[in-house]
Structure 1
Amino acid sequence: MTDPKTDLRRHALARRDLVTPQEAHAAAAAAAARGLALVTKIAAKAGVATPVISVYWPIRSELNTRPLIDALAARGYGVVLPVMHKVRHPLVFRDFTPGDDLVKGPFGLSEPSEDKIARDPDILFSPLAAFDRRGFRLGYGGGIYDATLSELRSRKQVTAIGVAYSCQETDHVPTEPHDQRLDYLLTERETIVPA
């Protein structure tokens, strides 16, 4: 018997892999504009002029967040990138400015070097495999973003935004008690406020 999460993850990632380069380019531009507008709205509502914003550095067929990083930095927001130390353990976030060199981390991800300042984000953009309109995400199976959000939210107010192509939407993501809900979802087509 197969695990429903495993099946859903496989199907959603297969759909994501079918996005063409032209669609991916247009999606990255749309997500950057929509993401910048959302951050501006969240910051104004919270009364925080310069929030610290974590954005993932894209891998494989993930929606490309580099235009979003550039847009946020150009607007003067503090950008941090996640650094992964262990599976199922919270991420650390280190300062990043477009143009900085990245190093390969222990899991092969591009990350800021150890000499960059570590700061907790106020707003966190998260990659995912699948999502539903309730605000639940299905990650890649490591439990890293759930552990990270759980720890951050125990200390401060953090707004979590899932980033995905609209083709990654599903009717219902199977959840467990430790799963952290997203505050928003951002696709190339829309900004979703979970019901």
Structure 2
Amino acid sequence: MTDVKTELRRRALARRDLVTHEEAHDAALSVARRGLALVEELSATTGLETPIVSVYWPIRSELNTRPLIEALARKGYRVVLPVMHKVRHPLVFRDFAPGDDLVKGPFGLSEPAEDKPARDPDVIFSPLAAFDRKGFRLGYGGGIYDATLAQLRPRKPVTVVGLAYSCQEADHVPTEPHDERLDYLMTERELIIPA
């Protein structure tokens, strides 16, 4: 299973690395529009006037979420960024607004400082290496989002949206019992509701 996941991850990330600067720019704007529309729809259907929305800060060739963060903040939604403390341990989500300074976390990620309030999100936009149309994601191998969702979902309703380029789609993502399913997948081309 590990070898299959490793090879799928390697191939999907290699495809992601081939996305051009122009394609990445267009994808970021497309996902910002689509992501904002989804949060507005979820807000209306769940009755949460201002849901707390977690969006990852992009690294390497990940789909750029900064336009989405700015769009959500302009509409008055509370944005939080994930903070990673340990592999296979749940994330902490801290307040962030465009213009806030970020600090380098212990794993080299840009994160809000420890003095920012921590909040449990209602909506999580999650990065991933590969995905399938059944709603399963292949992450980077640390088990962090699975651990986070296993802890968070019993406490409150949370909608999880995997963000990726369409080139990261796989026919089938191998799963294990601890793998948490996504509620939606969003690419530069479409919003996918898992079958």
Corresponding residue for 1:98?
98
Corresponding residue for 1:11?
11
CA distance in structure 1 between the aligned counterparts of 2:183 and 2:54, rounded to whole angstroms:
15
TM-score, reference length from structure 1: 0.99
How far has the Cα of 1:43 moved from its partner? Answer: 1.0
SS at match of 1:154: coil
Q: Deviations over 1:33-86 (max 9, x none)?
A: 000001111111101000000000000000000000000000000000000000
| Aligned pairs (5 A) from 1:113-128 | 113-128=113-128
**After the TM superposition, which parts of structure 1 deviate over 6 Å for at least 4 consecutive aligned residues?**
none
Q: Deviations over 1:124-167 (max 9, x none)?
A: 00000000000000000000000001100011100000000000
> Does residue 183 in structure 1 map to residue 187 in structure 2?
no
> Does residue 43 in structure 1 map to residue 34 in structure 2?
no
Equivalent residues, number: 195
CA distance in structure 2 between the aligned counterparts of 1:154 and 1:48, rounded to whole angstroms:
18
| Aligned pairs (5 A) from 1:51-130 | 51-130=51-130
Aligned-partner residue type, residue 138 of structure 2: L
Aligned-partner residue type, residue 50 of structure 2: T
Corresponding residue for 1:174?
174
Aligned-partner residue type, residue 68 of structure 1: L
How far has the Cα of 1:2 moved from its partner? Answer: 7.0
| Aligned pairs (5 A) from 1:132-143 | 132-143=132-143
Aligned-partner residue type, residue 164 of structure 1: A
